[in-house]
Structure 1
Amino acid sequence: MHYDIIVIGGSYAGMAATLQLIRARRMVLVIDAGELRNRFASHSHGFLGQDGIDPGEITAHARRQLEAYPTLSWREDRAETISGQADNFTVTTADGKSYQGRRILLAIGVTDQLPPIAGLAERWGKSVFHCPYCHGYELNQGHIGIIATGPMSVHQAELLTDWGSVTLVVNQALTLDLSTRTSLESRGVAIEDTPIDRIENSADVLLADRRLLSFKGLFIASRSTPSSQIAEIAGCALEETPMGIQIRTNAEGQTSVPGIFACGDTAMAPHSVSLAVGNGAMAGAQVHRSLLWPEGTLKL
């Protein structure tokens, strides 16, 4: 079968885009590897109508709604290569199958790059977070630790003062000049310069001098990269942002390769489920419009 659109990635943005496309009665194939970015979290917050719900439950319910439409096909597989050109793309998957489509929409999500601190990765999404709007409220205005990763950590520390008392643990990740220190301290942010040895218990930071700082939760301004190299393989341009590397797109979600679009965390910043859904819905509409008016798509 030659599909109108192949959506690579079936998480929030990918499904939001797919909904627009199948409601336009287009033949859509979703290829999904089943790796939600927020799979480590037990509850999703800040998403209207789904606040506090398990991420897996949200996506399972959404998929059931999509599968009620007859023009949807879904393959649980990993897309590995894209070849061809607009109106005649071929996507090859890890199991060796090939699929043809007129348009490609990359909703591949991102992978978080965490600093190599013992005990950190195991607590990611449980007691170590990146988004205060997603997880700050549940800390009940307790003591919050910010583990520095770079300049964005200063902004994160200032922002989180609305959610509790804040300590910025510099951990040799950045240099704070006098002006920055004064500004942070004026907002009530405590600054800890001793390096971290490891994370213990739920969110306790053991320092190199053996002092233990206990926190209700920890935040990190993680850097992210696309969760697959398929965009690079297809020739799509990437760009550097304060939050990491993402696929470069224009206002219509079009990448640098005509006929290939991108949406969600892999193509925008900042990141949240709500923003991914909105961006995906818009991208889906733009992909549909490109099928009707291919000469009207913006070029990068």
Structure 2
Amino acid sequence: MTGYEGQRRYDVVVIGGGAAGLSGALTLARARRSVLVVDAGEPRNAPASHIHGYLGREGTPPAELLAVGRAEVTGYGGEIVHGTVTAVERAAEGGFHVELADGHAVGAARLLITTGLVDELPAVPGVAERWGREVLHCPYCHGWEVRDLPIGVLATGPMAVHQTLLWRQWSNDVTLFLHTAPEITDEEYEQLAARGVTVVDGEVTGLDVTEDRLSGVRLAAGPVIPVQALVVAPRFTARAGVVAGLGLKATPQEWNGHVIGAHIATDPAGATDVPGVWAAGNVASPTDQVIGAAAAAVRAAAAINANLTAEETGRAVAARRAPFSAGAEREVCEKVLGDRRHGLDLPTAARDVGSSR
């Protein structure tokens, strides 16, 4: 990774070096923009052993994907530094002032926020320790890997039945642990029964692990129900604190009418309510898989480049129209008079006469 060059100003500073941040930086670097990626090294999918659903990269370890991405970005002249952004503020000269924990600071004409999110897990002993292994949440990310195994679903909110019926696609042996979720309806009980899902009352107090593999779920009443995978519903909380100083705050993220977390709201191209700031990836769309986060950042990067191009064109037009500009006068003379502006096409005597006037 490259370092800083004093107080250098970049066209774009990308805050976050995961799949989204690197994809956006790659697009910008190929557009011949000066771009700096500030990577805190805390990717959301670090606990996972592989990524899935990413065409051409199916089954790639997350760290490997990021290593390849960093090489591609720097190969086009983009810069990457390991660090944490501590503050962002408007710069007096325009753009933004970006401060890092190590004391360095850089300028940016535009910002792309790809800081991701934090998965707030249910407070059940053992869940955090098995997260990304046998404790899962996304069937499209991990369903194939636990197909046909006994799967438990830990109900903690109103989406539990929906989640359970979805996971039923990957296994005939699915158990819904009602745990702390609201009471389900008669219609939902009927749906679960029709799909052969077992429903277990009572609060879950912990997990059983055998030879470093999940083997069961323990209930407060005492029994252990055998499962080899446990599905949970984290609360998705955007890592948005770094841009709070710009007045950009996370807002509730809803799914099927229920709040599932918080995100930075953007338009379809990733633009936020703060001029000059774009956001992409899980910080803006918590339910995106890796490939979706990367694609969103590519769209945002293209929008940023177009925005910069429009601004640069406006400045160029203004400079061209500026009255009494020495540069503009010189350009007109060059086009209209050519060498005659210096009298070089006149006979020597004429030049002498002209110079004596």
Give yes or no for TM over 0.5.
Answer: yes
Counterpart selection for 1:261 from 278, 282, 295: 278
Deviations 1:77-108 (A, max 9, x none): 00111100694200111112111010000000
Of the three residues 205, 221, 225, the one matched with 1:209 is: 221
The SS at the match of 1:122 is helix
1: CA distance between counterparts of 2:226 and 2:141? 21
Tell me if 1:221 matches 2:233.
yes
What is the aligned counterpart of 1:166 among 142, 161, 174?
Answer: 174
Q: Is the 8 A contact 2:125 2:206 kept in 1?
A: yes
Give how far 1:282 is off: 0.9
Q: Which gives a bigger RCO, structure 1 or 2 (Cα 8 Å, sep 6+)? A: 1
Q: How far does residue 232 in structure 1 lie from its aligned partner after superposition? A: 2.2
Alignment match, 1:233? 245
Q: Distance in 2 between matches of 1:27 and 1:123?
A: 41
Aligned to 1:282: 299
Q: Does 1:18 align with 2:33?
A: no
**Structure 2: distance between partners of 1:113 and 1:149:** 12
Structure 1: distance between partners of 2:297 and 2:12: 14
- Name 1:30's counterpart in structure 2: 37
Partners in 1 of 2:37 and 2:228 — Cα distance? Answer: 39
- Helix, strand or coil: the match of 1:162? coil
Q: CA deviation at 1:193?
A: 1.3
Question: What aligned pairs does 1:1-300 form with structure 2 within 5 A after superposition?
Answer: 1-70=8-77, 72-84=78-90, 87-164=94-171, 165-201=173-209, 202-203=213-214, 204-242=216-254, 243-293=260-310
Contact 1:21 1:284 in 2 (8 A): yes
Aligned partners of 2:226 and 2:28: how far apart in 1?
Answer: 49
Identity of aligned residues (%): 37
Q: Distance in 2 between matches of 1:120 and 1:214?
A: 15
In the alignment, is the contact (CA less than 8 A) between 2:203 and 2:219 conserved in 1?
yes
- Could you say which structure has the higher helix fraction? 2
Q: 1:298 maps to what in 2?
A: none
Give CA deviations for 1:224-279 in whole Å, capped at 9, x if unaligned: 11235113232114221133100011122111111011000010142211111111
The separation in 2 between residues aligned to 1:149 and 1:280, in whole angstroms, is 32
Q: Distance in 2 between matches of 1:28 and 1:262?
A: 15
Tell me the alpha carbon deviations over residues 53-97 of structure 1, each in whole angstroms, 9 at most, x when there is no partner.
211111111111111112x11110001111006942001111121
Q: Larger deviation: 121-130 or 140-149? A: 140-149
Distance apart, 1:25 and its partner CA: 0.2
TM-score, length-scaled by structure 1: 0.94
TM-score, length basis structure 2: 0.79
- Secondary structure of 1:293's aligned partner: helix
Answer yes or no: is the 8 Å Cα contact 1:237–1:256 preserved in 2.
Answer: no
Q: Distance in 2 between matches of 1:149 and 1:263?
A: 28
User: 2:117·2:286 contact (CA, 8 Å) conserved in 1?
Assistant: no
AA of the residue aligned to 2:104: K
The structure where strand makes up a greater share of residues is 1
Residue 181 of structure 1: CA displacement?
1.6
1:87 and 1:12 map into 2 onto residues whose CA distance is: 29
**Larger CA deviation: 278-287 vs 17-26:** 278-287
* d(CA) in 2 for partners of 1:152, 1:84: 41
In angstroms, what is the RMSD of aligned CA positions? 1.6
Runs of 4+ with >2 A deviation: 231-234
CA distance in 2, matches of 1:169, 1:182: 16
Take 2:187 and 2:236, find their aligned partners in 1: how far apart are those partners? 29
Alpha-carbon offset, residue 294 of structure 1: 5.0
Question: Conserved in 2, the CA contact under 8 Å of 1:172 and 1:193?
Answer: no
Contact 1:149 1:222 in 2 (8 A): no
Unaligned runs of 5+ in 1: 296-300
